[in-house]
Structure 1
Amino acid sequence: MPAAAPSAALPAQPIAAPPLLAAPLPADRLDSLARLTDGLDRDSLWWLSGYAAGLARSGLAVATAAAPAAVESKTGERLTVVYGSQTGNAKRLAEQLAAQAEAAGLSVRLLRADAYPTRELKGERLLYLVVSTQGDGDPSDDARGLVDFIAGKRAPELKGVHYAVLGLGDSSYPQFCAIGARLDARLAELGATRAFARGDADLDIETVSGPWLQQALAQAKETLKPAAHLATVTPLRPIAPAAPTHHRDAPFAAELIGNRRLIARASSARGAVAADKDIRHIELSLEDSGLHYQPGDALGLWPRNPPALVQAVLETLQLDGDAAVAHAGQTLPLRQWLGEKRELTKLARPFVASHAAHARSDELNRLLAPDQSASLAELLSRSQVIDLLQRYDGAWSAEELVAALRPLTPRLYSIASSQKAVGEEAHLTVAHVEYESELGLRWGAASHQLASAEEGERLPVFIEANERFRLPADGSRDIVMIGPGTGVAPFRGFVQDRAADGASGRNWLLFGNPHFRTDFLYQTEWQAALKSGQLQRLDLAFSRDQAHKVYVQHRLREHGRELYDWLQNGAHLYVCGDATRMAKDVHAALLAAIAEHGGRSAEDAEDYLNDLQQQGRYARDVY
């Protein structure tokens, strides 16, 4: 039970923190505690003390005051696993490795990259890094600080440290797994010893991650001694609660209870002729699933490929869809492999290379040359598997095709609702990918499945937690939300949640899209929120409603003074949407506003924004 609340007669004003004498916490944890409690009123401090007491009683806090000394003496026998994850894959693999190592009796700590105390780097005995690369060679948001530290002048000499790196990426991008490669090379440069070769995993992650994890566990057992007593094994993370019944590998069949268009108009999609732009508001029932989510989390959907697309592949290659195909210990009809198990709407470099050989195509082989990376990236971004098969004739057997195609992977959608407002439901904002190419009609697998689904149909889903994208625990904090297009989705949940909690902090939304008349997603809801006081400020950027294009980054620059004042007064800043252009342009606009209105140099503005990120006050959900 939390501690009793103070008397109502006590003033609700910030309390000065007493000196933290003889605290059983390292310096970096004390700094975090000081930042957490800074400015909290008496009610908030009482609540926090009760929350911490509840954690201790539930077993989440496992270290006692005497534990740090014991752990310190065992540092040389400890495995450290650090992950940098954008969509949850690196986190999932790191957790899997840590769990396997703990089960083997090893002392393990698992840390997200932005929680890793860099001062401890030189003292590591065995360090495993599982890191993703996003966009064009960028680190995940939670790994930026660690990557910069290791690459910078402050990084220490690392003789005596053994390490290994697993990189995750997408070979559709020129700088495939670039962050993993950079960290691997830099750690060696600093004198650390590579325990075994780096793994570079494409979107069919398990092909590389499976063998890498096996080797990592074997190496850890050989290098480290199993912990003699559980008392010396002190995970620096909460003990995981019981696994939910439904998860990524055991999804819940959620009933579709709502599917409506938010907009529909003629537009020009990149690489396609004119088509209807179709944004959907999707509502799914989670009743009886046991699934729970927080604003900022994502809903994962295991998609299936459109039957018409599967049929087109079969006809193009003149293959029998009913033919039984054995692969990786499983035997299924070819049609089922292509419909439910293999990626058809995303084209990858390995398949281009395979098809170049099958088609004996000099043109495709030229595209695979190192100096043609930009042309290959253009092909991958504009084409699907069927396009390649139809443009370049090649003979495939059913077995070869199944083996060459990547496994179908789940799609993640930012949840556009709060369970405090909608109960056992999850709402999504989905851009339906459907366009007419020069070779025929094309779709996105998951978006087409959702847009085509009828009420009552059931879809396989799971919750993907996103701890980096959370509302402030202190409801009196202001928030600034930047979400153009479907990037506005999580902020609908943010506003619903804050309204349900009666949060006193102000909410400022910046939204953009091409046209006010047709593209203003959730227009009536935002207008109602402004009227009711659930939203204090709304700034809009409709890029094509005037002669010159106006985007959300332009609104940030226009209102830079107010933005800087909000940040100075403790506001949290959130960005959601496209990673390739929007997120970079918004980041540049934020730096410009901070430099101009804070009287700072460009370098100081960068430090200011990095510090906000370290505090958890600048969070991005970009894709």
Structure 2
Amino acid sequence: MELNVTNSPFNEQQAELLNRLLPTLNEHQRIWLTGFLAAGSAAAALQAPVASAPQAAAAAPQAPAVPAAPREATILFGSQTGNGSGLAKKLAKRLEEQQVKAEALSMADFKPANLKKIDNLLIVVSTHGEGEPPDNALAFHEFLHSKRAPKLEQLRYSVLALGDTSYEFFCQTGKDFDARLAELGATRLAERVDCDVDFDESAGEWMKAVAEALSASPSAAASAADSAAPLSADPESEYSRSNPFRAEVLENLNLNGRGSARETRHLELSLEGSGLTYEPGDSLGVYPENHPRLVDEIIEEMGWNPDEIVPTGKNASAALREALHRYYEITVLTKPLLEQAAKLSGSEALAKLTAPEAAAELRAYIGERDLLDLIRDFGLKGRTAAEVTGILRKLPARLYSIASSAKATPDEVHLTVRTVRYACGGRDRYGVCSVQMAERLEPGDQLPVFIQHNPNFKLPANPDTPIIMIGPGTGVAPFRSFLAEREETDARGRTWLFFGDQHFSTDFLYQTEWQRWIKDGVLTKMDVAFSRDTDEKVYVQHRMLEKSKELYEWIDGGAAVYVCGDEKNMAHDVHTTLETIIAQGGGFSPEQASEYLLRMQQEKRYQRDVY
């Protein structure tokens, strides 16, 4: 249908111009133009004097307003620790504030067949392990990269990728989704943003870009984005990732016995007055401090003045020693850091090390080296403090699985932390946060902390559901939380714990507590593996295979399985062992057993908190 002088308020010349323009517009442009004109009319109405009733009656008749098509967006998150889900929910809130109907869903809860039914898709996804999707993104990732994935020419999308530049496959899962959606014909409504561990600012910029792309009023979108609440804030608390609470240390104990090769700290922190709340399965974020010895060695090596003022962020600065102690990452090297250092130093050797063909050499170099090594090995000496700190990333928070139940110990949060110490290149090296806790933290001191909620690692909603917990070493921390919670709530479901460490006599963490819970019926069964007490090393997966028949009966009977600990070795071996147990117990092929375990993940009956 064409406009003309008889069916519109336009003259002949205007109608002709509009008839030439309108057929060339796509749906997005039509919606934008409608909103733009509506916003202009509203602004003019606010500025115009109020007309009297007779004047209004005499005004020329206007064409009936055409309602703008409703704007909708689907936000899918793939998250292992809860960062992705937190950002997705924050984005949904922002979009709702600007009248965009937004729904945030875990990728595990989204039906891929619905991709053809949506117009705007926003993906927030982290990368896990060696470039792998997080557990709740596995099935969706596999579908999208399969031959079953449909063409998506109608779809507009954008990706926020979360990662850590200290890993080789930085933000790989986000890059995969971005590339694959483009291959399927979808159109980017905003460019992908890749976030390092300090993601608040870059994630905020992405949200702003997405909001503007979806909104007919970009300024309103920016305003809504800027006014949103900070990430990780508790509804009842003013404290968050960007505004941590200074928690007082109540206890700091070594859980290992005399003669152990290991040191594991049990910390009890006060949350009194913070308003912070948590559930079993959540984590505590801790902002650490670098070892003062390493800070002093760097300053001495460079010949810097420790009192020189250097920037530490937007409109912030500090004395150099304080900046290196509290604000900057100096123990972990990343490829982006080395690339910037190569430009700063002019070192050809460093430039070659960061070239694509030197990936193996780069991986070997950064594995156990720090900023002091970089300075000594590649001629950074002579550069100013401002130049070097300008290429460093912020010191990120460390996340630890919470080892307590808020119901059992109100206003407290407990941690189980293995102290990391090793020698390399003729120097002693330290785990930043763990050694701070072990050597420089006394009762009465304070730690800046925040709660990292993790919806992907939660007790079953039904307290009668049996649970199987597999947590060697400090991986047992959340299961102490689980059992304390179940004791307080009088849950009746059976519980089975697999725990392992080096020696029974020195490394049986929380031994008396497990024994009390077994006596009281809170813990139904416990199997332990102490790898250094026998000639042949025995780990938790070996104990699982020994109890294969009974384990399958629990699983087949509806038990939920939880795994916590090292992802690269332990969690991989446990996953393979579970597939073997399911195949043997159910008479399945390896492929069927793998599908069985995947279904358990989708049903939230198989959850992992791995790192």
- Residue 118 of structure 1: how far off its partner (Å): 2.2
Q: In the alignment, what sits opposite 2:147?
A: 153
1:59 counterpart residue number: none
For 2:180 and 2:70, the matched residues in 1 are separated by 22
Give per-residue Cα distances to partners, 1:139-176, cap 9 Å, x unaligned. Answer: 11221122122122332221210111121112222222
Q: Is the 8 A contact 2:405 2:485 kept in 1?
A: yes
Question: Residue 178 of structure 2 aligns to which amino acid in structure 1?
Answer: D
Tell me the CA shift for residue 553 of structure 1. 1.6
Q: Does 1:517 align with 2:502?
A: no
Aligned counterparts of 2:234 and 2:377: Cα–Cα separation in 1: 51
Which shows bigger deviation, 608-617 or 524-533?
Answer: 524-533
Tell me if structure 1 keeps the 8 A contact 2:82–2:455: no
SS at match of 2:393: coil
Which TM-score applies when normalising by structure 1? 0.81
Q: Which amino acid aligns with 1:373?
A: A
Question: Secondary structure of the residue that 2:152 maps to in structure 1?
Answer: coil
Question: Are 2:367 and 1:373 aligned?
Answer: no
Kindly indicate whether residue 430 of structure 2 is the aligned counterpart of residue 443 of structure 1.
yes
How many correspondences in the alignment? 531
CA distance in 2, matches of 1:177, 1:590: 28
Native 8 Å contact 1:75 1:125 kept in 2:
no
TM, length-normalised to structure 2: 0.82
Matching residue of 2:449: 461
Shift in alpha-carbon separation, 1:542–1:359, aligned structure 2, 3 A: farther
Name the residue aligned to 1:286. 271
SS across alignment from 1:346: coil
Letter in 1 for 2:301: T
Alignment of 1:1-400 (within 5 A): 77-206=71-200, 208-222=202-216, 242=235, 244-263=237-256, 277-326=262-311, 327-395=313-381, 396-400=383-387
CA contact (8 A) 2:237 2:274 kept: no
SS of residue matched to 2:324: helix
Is the contact between residue 360 and residue 394 of structure 1 (CA under 8 Å) also seen in structure 2?
Answer: no
Identical counterparts, % of pairs? 44
Please give the secondary structure, in 2, of the residue aligned with 1:130.
Answer: strand
Using the TM superposition, give the Cα deviation of residue 509 of structure 1 relative to its aligned residue in structure 2, in angstroms. Answer: 0.5
Partner residue, 2:530: 542
Tell me if structure 1 keeps the 8 A contact 2:71–2:99: no
Aligned partners of 2:517, 2:69: CA distance in 1, in Å?
Answer: 53
Deviations 1:446-466 (A, max 9, x none): 212222211111111111111
Report deviation, 1:381: 2.6
Q: CA contact under 8 A between 2:234 and 2:276: conserved in structure 1? A: no
The one-character-per-residue Cα deviations of 1:281-303 (angstroms, maximum 9, x if unpaired) are 11111122212211111111111
Query: Could you tell which deviates more after superposition, 106-115 or 602-611?
Result: 106-115
Mapped partners of 1:107, 1:186: distance in 2: 25
8 Å CA contact 1:434–1:444 kept in 2: the answer is: yes
Measure the CA separation in 1 of the matches of 2:362 and 2:504. Answer: 36
CA contact (8 A) 1:106 1:226 kept: no
**Counterpart check, 1:417 vs 2:411:** no
1:195 shift after superposition: 2.2
Distance 2:411 2:308 in 1: 42
Output the CA distance in 2 between the equivalents of 1:457 and 1:486.
23
CA gap 1:425/1:204 in 2 versus in 1, 3 angstroms: closer
Distance 2:219 2:201 in 1: 29
Contact 2:500-2:531 at 8 Å conserved across structures:
yes
Shift of 1:225: 14
Q: Structure 1 pair 341/95, CA: closer, same or farther in 2 (3 Å)?
A: farther
Q: Any gaps of 5 or more consecutive residues in structure 2?
A: 1-66, 222-232
In the alignment, residue 295 of structure 2 is paired with which amino acid? V
CA distance in structure 2 between the partners assigned to 1:214 and 1:334 by the alignment: 34
The one-letter code of the counterpart of 1:425 is: E
Confirm or deny that 1:567 pairs with 2:543: no
Question: Which stretch of structure 1 is more off in the superposition, 356-365 or 212-221?
Answer: 356-365
2:57 is matched with none
Aligned equivalents of 1:564, 1:490: Cα separation in 2: 23
Matched residues in 2 for 1:441 and 1:242: separation? 43
Alpha-carbon shift at residue 257 of structure 1 (Å): 0.6
Cα distance in structure 2, aligned partners of 1:74 and 1:557:
61
* Runs (5+) with no aligned partner, structure 1: 1-72, 228-239, 268-275
How big is each residue's C-alpha offset from its partner over 1:396-419, in whole Å with a ceiling of 9 and x where there is no partner? 212122221111111111111112
Structure 1 range deviating more: 585-594 or 345-354: 345-354
CA distance, structure 1, for counterparts of residue 585 and residue 116 of structure 2: 39
Note closer, same or farther for the CA distance 1:508–1:501 as it changes in structure 2 (3 Å cut): same
Shift in CA distance, 524/418, structure 1 to aligned 2, threshold 3 Å: same
Q: Is the 8 A contact 1:78 1:224 kept in 2?
A: no
Relative to structure 2, which stretch is displaced further, 587-596 or 450-459? 450-459
Larger CA deviation: 540-549 vs 453-462: 540-549
The one-letter code matched in structure 2 to 1:255 is: E
Q: CA deviation at 1:125?
A: 1.2
Larger radius of gyration: 2
- Secondary structure, in 3 states, of the residue corresponding to 1:283? strand
- Taking the aligned partners of 1:133 and 1:377, their CA distance within structure 2 comes to 18
Aligned to 1:419, the other structure's residue is in SS state: coil
Partner SS for 2:386: helix
1:263 counterpart SS class: coil
* Cross-structure match for 2:44: none
Please report the RMSD computed on the Cα atoms of aligned residues, expressed in angstroms. 2.4
Q: Distance in 2 between matches of 1:373 and 1:207?
A: 29
The C-alpha deviation readout for 1:515-573, integer Å capped at 9, x for no partner, is 22222111222122222222111111222222222211222222221111001111110
* Partner AA of 2:101 in structure 1: S
Distance 1:596 1:76 in 2: 53
In structure 2, C-alpha distance between the alignment counterparts of 1:334 and 1:241, rounded to whole Å: 33
**Aligned position for 1:69:** none
Q: Following the alignment from structure 1 to structure 2, what is the Cα–Cα distance between the partners of residues 155 and 245?
A: 44
Q: Which amino acid aligns with 1:257?
A: L
Determine if contact 2:368/2:424 at 8 Å carries over to the other structure: no
Residue aligning to 1:478: 466
CA contact (8 A) 1:387 1:439 kept: no
Q: 1:90-133: per-residue Cα shift (whole Å, max 9, x none)?
A: 23332333232222232211222222232321122111111100
Farther off after superposition, 356-365 or 381-390? 356-365
1: CA distance, partners of 2:205 / 2:161: 13
Q: Distance in 1 between matches of 2:69 and 2:551?
A: 44
CA distance in 2, matches of 1:514, 1:362: 45
Q: Which residue identity does 1:537 align to in structure 2? A: K
Q: Secondary structure at the match of 2:142?
A: helix
Distance verdict in 2 for CA 1:607–1:453, change over 3 Å: same
Q: How many Å separate the matches in 1 of 2:599 and 2:289?
A: 42
Residue 548 of structure 2 contacts residue 581 of structure 2 at CA under 8 Å; is this kept in 1? yes
Change (3 A) 1:241 1:168: closer
